[in-house]
Amino acid sequence: MHQSKILPYLLLLPAAVLIVAVVAYPMVYGITLSLTDRTLHSFEADFIGLENFRKLLQDDRFLTVAGNSVLWPIYTVIGSVLSGFLLALILNQNFLGRRFARGILLVPWTVPTVAVAFVWVWLYDPLVGIFNQIVLLVGGSRLPFMSNVGMAQFWMALPVTWRFYPFVMLMLLAGLQAIDQELYAAAGVDGANMWQRFWHITLPMVRGILGLVTVLEFIWLFNHFDIIWIMTGGGPADATHNFATYAYYQGFKTFKYAYASAIGVVMLAILFFSSLVYLYLQDRMEIEL
């Protein structure tokens, strides 16, 4: 460690300036905004206390969105963590073309979200989309996908899950490869079967990473905006809105700046708790390492 009193602060200064200007100050501004009645058309905003939050609780659309926001992480976090884990286990096997498979399975993560949304709009095309063609070929009847209010959020979860599983896969694969092979050899001598080896060696060894990526995926997917906004804009009948798209809708389609900020504050409160969980898990990880 170098000894210097001022230099480290000088080194951090540029980053600190950016963080204050783009995150910290706007955060305080946003929280203040949520306590006013500011819209695009109001030049002077009045302080109205918690009125916006009271209105949120009476806004049927917001309550629908809040309901969606419970289901949304369940679909997408479970989907991306399970598929990422499954693929990591597969890629940890020895097989021909493993490196190639790993490479190609990472592609969804590197493609811009806009392109992901476009591809899935086409896959879901009700008339000539490939999914409905497959459904018809196996003798089913056309699926309405995004036009069915009851199922829209489920179908929306697929492209988003597809974009986000590679991160889980990558982290868990690195974790799996760090497991000492001797452990499996010893378990083999003891006559443990495949399932027992998974349950008693693999799972405990990657538990820490699994917990961290699950929280991270929750945070990212909870915040996710791009793919939903491009594919449906939150429709039909608000079925695919989450907090993020609904806040954006209130802010930039109806221009209720203060009301949208109140939704942002609700998101901040929820994410604050998830961040604490994340930091706790990371601390525990550090002890284990």
Closest by alpha carbon to 210, among 88, 94, 105, 108?
Answer: 88
Which of 63, 71, 74, 130 is the binder for another protein (CB under 8 A)?
Answer: 130
The answer to whether the CB of 167 falls within 8 A of the CB of 79 is no
Amino acid at 9: Y
Closest by alpha carbon to 87, among 115, 73, 107?
Answer: 107
Per CB under 8 A, the segment of 49-57, 58-66, 70-78, 195-203 that binds another protein is 195-203
Contacts of 274 (CB under 8 A, 6+ apart): 215, 218, 219, 222
Distance CA 174, CA 167 (A): 11
Per CB under 8 A, the segment of 47-55, 65-73, 74-82, 131-139 that binds another protein is 131-139
By the rule CB under 8 A, 114 interacts with another protein: yes
Which of 70, 138, 194, 287 is the binder for another protein (CB under 8 A)?
Answer: 194
By the rule CB under 8 A, 149 interacts with another protein: no
CB of 153 to another protein, least distance (A): 19
Touching another protein, residues 15-44 (CB under 8 A): 15-16, 18-19, 21-23, 25-27, 29-31, 33
By the rule CB under 8 A, 287 interacts with another protein: no
- Cβ burial, residue 59 (10 Å; 0-12/13-18/19+): middle
| Of residues 33 and 239, the one with the C-beta less far from another protein | 33
Asked if the bond preceding 236 is cis, omega within 30° of 0, the reply is yes
By the rule CB under 8 A, 58 interacts with another protein: no
Amino acid at 80: S
| Of residues 26 and 67, the one with the C-beta less far from another protein | 26
CB of 237 to another protein, least distance (A): 18
The answer to whether the CB of 184 falls within 8 A of the CB of 197 is yes
- Cβ burial, residue 35 (10 Å; 0-12/13-18/19+): buried
CB of 224 to another protein, least distance (A): 10
By the rule CB under 8 A, 105 interacts with another protein: yes
Per CB under 8 A, the segment of 57-65, 74-82, 147-155, 271-279 that binds another protein is 271-279
CB of 268 to another protein, least distance (A): 5
Site string for another protein, 209-238 (x = CB under 8 A): x--xx--x--x---x-xx---xx-------
Tokens of 275: 């961040």
